[in-house]
Chains A and B, each alone.
Chain A
Amino acid sequence: MMQKGALNVEKIRMDFPILKRKVSGGKQLVYLDNAATTQKPLAVIDAIRDYYMNYNSNIHRAVHQLAEEATIAFESTREKVAKFINAKSTEEIIFTRNATEALNLVAYSWGRANVKKDDKIVITEIEHHSNIVPWQILTTEKGAKLEYIGVDDNGYLKMHEYKGHLDSNKVKLVSVSHMSNVLGTIVPVSDIIKMSHEKGIPVLIDGAQSVPHMAVDVQKMNCDFMAFSAHKMLGPTGVGILYVRRDILEKMPPFMGGGDMIKEVHKYETRYNDLPYRFEGGTPNIADVIGFGAAIDYLNNLGMDKVREHEMELTWYAIDRISRVKGVTLYGPRNMNDRGGVVSFNIGDIHPHDLATIMNDHGVAIRSGHHCAQVLMERLDVAATSRASFYIYNTKQEIDTFIGALEEARRLFKI
């Protein structure tokens, strides 16, 4: 059946071999766990294979041809990343293992140098554990304070609380998610950054859930730091990105010492390498960075505005259908402009893990649990939620299958 929409999904699906898989004794896979990680198109798999088959070698050092080819391929991904988020230069793009390591890099390098006793770091109740724990470690070490912007019952941040924190004149850093991985809330980051900058306070944006799903422009947004992960946007696991505005990055002490981050090493002193290499100690994940380049090409070919449009259409359809199922509680904003392609819910007294087991019998992969957001779970007063999350290859028919499985769960549990 032809899908009339922003993307040619039928054509896209042909690029993802895994979507043909059968699971649970012959059921067609319906993959709705994209906020955890997305599937990979052949172009990405082939790029990694091509590197290992044809020009595997270490980068930045050797002068032989393979090393040169590998270095060019590796660095071309950096250029693609810079362009994708509209960074001013490639020197502002640092490769890490994942978004978590990118957030920790800021905490360990910038945080240790700048946060002192009685200072405050402001985060929100919707944060992923990766944007909570590094700040707990840092504030404990420094005798500083961690403050939260609360979330209201509709999934929106309480901006008056944010203003209160800023007015204390103790805040050193604000670190917020661009999009909640549970509620789907798209946070008004431009307002947050504007308010913070009026006080001269830098802002870190956790873009793990936003960069894969919408056009993000770091210059327009005017953030100081941004972290995100390749594997949530068609790329391989093991590659994260940290963007840092140049004037801040220049003053940051190195994070990990070792090869590649140095210019000269003597017995008791070292001259560090230029940006961004100063922050990339050791041999990086060359193959997967190259694979990530192919992922960015793929997304650029589709167009990020089209990606967002497709996801809004699916999310709207999913919310409309789920909300008609008896016994369902939905979480997060109801206005589609304020949310991304993530739908969290509970149904009756069915625990999300039981629901996920029933879904799995129908071939439907959803996520269940606390989604690494236990602070938010406590705020919502639930132990766990079920979550369906969408991407470029998902269809309304797949959502219909998901709804069928949900009805089956309701029948089994007699709700």
Chain B
Amino acid sequence: MSDDIYREIILDHYRNPRNKGKLPDADVSIHDSNPLCGDEIDIHLKVDGDKIKDIRFEGRGCAISQASASMLTEMVAGKPLTSVKDLNKNDILESIGLMNLGPARIKCALLSLKVLKLGMVKYYAERDPASAKKLQEDSKGL
């Protein structure tokens, strides 16, 4: 099973993360951690209209949490910010190719999506509280 998890693509994103770093003049930044593992993720967004113009992440933690954050940034860059609400568990697990993660490790894989969704809600909460509330409802159930 470890052979399935720690494939080349995961190790590649772990060791050479895409879109990693700070984002000066980000429109929204958000942080969360996984108390169980101590994985930490910060996501910074620059938004143009409703498009994600730029995205960066910072973080430390296990290969699964960091590789999925890296892949997630590639997945959503240039997409409408509101489309983040439609992303779910399976989208992440499919993209990192790990459909059979156990309950403990699945939290590692989903941490970055959780942070991104929080960022989306925070962005709209500061600009359009009514739609932020709806987005929050819609993006439940991670």
Known contacts: A357-B5, A358-B6. The answer to whether A369 contacts B63 by CB under 8 A is no
Does A383 touch B at the CB level, under 8 Å? yes
Q: Is the CB of B38 within 8 A of A354?
A: no
Known contacts: A357-B2, A357-B5, A413-B11. The answer to whether A384 contacts B105 by CB under 8 A is no
Q: Is the CB of B5 within 8 A of A414?
A: no
Q: Which residues of B contact A24 (CB under 8 A)?
A: 1
Question: Which residues of B in the span 3-42 have a Cβ within 8 Å of any Cβ on A?
Answer: 3, 5-6, 11, 14-15, 36-40
Q: Which residues of B contact A178 (CB under 8 A)?
A: none
Where chain A touches its partner, the secondary structure class is mixed
Interface readout for A20-49 with B: 1 if CB under 8 Å, 0 if not? 000010000000000000000000000000
Q: Is the CB of A383 within 8 A of B36?
A: no
Interface readout for B46-75 with A: 1 if CB under 8 Å, 0 if not? 000000000000001111100000000000
Interface residue total, chain B, C-beta cutoff 8 A: 20
Q: Is the CB of A369 within 8 A of B2?
A: no
The residue on A at minimum CB distance from B39 is A353
Q: Which residues of B contact A357 (CB under 8 A)?
A: 2, 5, 105
Partner of B37 from A353, A361, A409 at Cβ < 8 Å: A353
Query: CA–CA, A119 to B27, complex, Å?
Result: 46
Query: CA–CA, A354 to B98, complex, Å?
Result: 14
Interface residue total, chain A, C-beta cutoff 8 A: 20
Partner of B38 from A384, A412, A414 at Cβ < 8 Å: A384
Q: By CB atoms of chain B within 10 A, which of A349, A354, A358, A369 has the most? A: A354
Q: Which residues of B contact A369 (CB under 8 A)?
A: 36-38
Q: Is the CB of A354 within 8 A of B62?
A: yes
Query: CA–CA, A350 to B2, complex, Å?
Result: 13
Q: Is the CB of A354 within 8 A of B63?
A: yes
Query: CA–CA, A24 to B11, complex, Å?
Result: 23
Query: CA–CA, A30 to B21, complex, Å?
Result: 40
Q: Is the CB of B37 within 8 A of A384?
A: yes
Q: Which residues of B contact A351 (CB under 8 A)?
A: 61-63
Interchain residue pairs with CB less than 8 A apart (28) = A349-B15, A351-B61, A351-B63, A353-B37, A353-B39, A353-B61, A353-B62, A353-B64, A353-B105, A353-B108, A354-B6, A354-B62, A354-B64, A357-B105, A358-B6, A361-B1, A368-B37, A369-B36, A369-B37, A369-B38, A370-B38, A383-B38, A383-B40, A383-B61, A384-B37, A384-B38, A412-B2, A414-B11
- Ranked 4 nearest A-B pairs via Cβ: A351-B62, A353-B62, A358-B2, A412-B6
Instruction: List 15 extra interface pairs beyond A357-B2, A384-B37, CB under 8 A.
Output: A350-B63, A351-B61, A353-B61, A354-B62, A357-B105, A358-B2, A361-B1, A370-B38, A383-B60, A383-B61, A384-B38, A412-B3, A412-B6, A413-B6, A414-B11
